[in-house]
């Protein structure tokens, strides 16, 4: 392959703001995946779940089911963030969607008596959204999608 042909297929490097937004999303996702692993651990060790009411025998596996869901969702967010950081088209949607979901969740963290967690979650979501949707990021996205 010639140099001209390889440069024609080269992906444009995303701006620093997009890379930082992706790093924020990856860190957030790793925290959620750690929580999911904790849920599986609780189920495996037989921890009593007093907040759920059920007469079924499968009540002890609710945490594992939740964890499987979280693993799937946040694997997509991490994959999207890595893809976007590498200049691919895929990734902006999952990262932006997660940040848009996290923002109102941070409000509920405040209401649940967890102001520090709410502040960190809300600030990180706002920061990532600002980085994803600033002028330079939008220009890069438009150029990248036109290619």
Per-residue pLDDT tens for 104-141?
999 999 999 999 999 999 999 999 999 999 999 999 99
Are 56 and 46 contacting, i.e. CB atoms less than 8 angstroms apart? no
Q: Decide: 103 and 74 in contact? Cβ < 8 Å.
A: no
pLDDT in tens, 77-88: 999 999 999 999
Q: Is residue 41 part of a domain?
A: yes
Flag whether 113 is in a domain: yes
Write the CA distances from 38 to 64, 75, 106, 131, integer angstroms.
Answer: 9, 17, 21, 31
- Residue 4 three-state SS: helix
Residue 29 neighbours by CB under 8 Å, 6+ apart: 74, 77, 78, 81, 98
> Is 79 domain-assigned?
yes
Q: Give the structural domain span for 54.
A: 15-146
Check pLDDT > 60 for residue 1: no
Instruction: Report if residue 54 sits inside a domain.
Output: yes
Extract the tokens encoding 74. 């946040």
Distance CA 4, CA 122 (A): 45
Q: Is there a domain that residue 35 lies in? A: yes
**Does residue 2 fall inside a structural domain?**
no
Q: CA 31, CA 60: separation in Å to the nearest integer?
A: 23
d(CA 70, CA 55): 25
Total tally of structural domains belonging to the chain: 1
HSE-CB for 133 with a 13 A CA cutoff: 12
Whether the per-residue pLDDT at 8 is higher than 60: the answer is no
Q: How far apart are CA 102 and CA 25, in angstroms?
A: 10
For residue 71, being part of any structural domain is answered with: yes
Report pTM.
Answer: 0.86
Q: Is position 28 within any domain?
A: yes
Task: Provide the pLDDT confidence category of residue 53 given band limits of 50, 70 and 90.
Answer: low
């Amino acid at each position: 392959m010639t140099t001209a042909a390889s440069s024609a297929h080269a992906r444009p490097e995303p701006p620093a703001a997009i890379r930082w937004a992706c790093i924020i999303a990856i860190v957030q996702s790793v925290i959620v995946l750690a929580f999911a692993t904790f849920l599986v651990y609780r189920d495996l060790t037989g921890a009593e779940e007093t907040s759920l009411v059920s007469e079924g025998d499968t009540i002890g596996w609710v945490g594992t089911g939740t964890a499987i869901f979280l693993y799937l969702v946040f694997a997509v967010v991490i994959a999207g963030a890595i893809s976007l950081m590498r200049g691919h088209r895929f990734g902006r949607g999952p990262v932006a969607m997660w940040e848009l979901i996290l923002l109102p969740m941070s409000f509920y963290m405040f209401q649940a008596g967890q102001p520090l967690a709410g502040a960190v979650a809300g600030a990180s979501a706002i920061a990532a959204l600002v980085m994803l949707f600033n002028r330079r990021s939008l220009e890069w996205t438009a150029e990248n999608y036109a290619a």
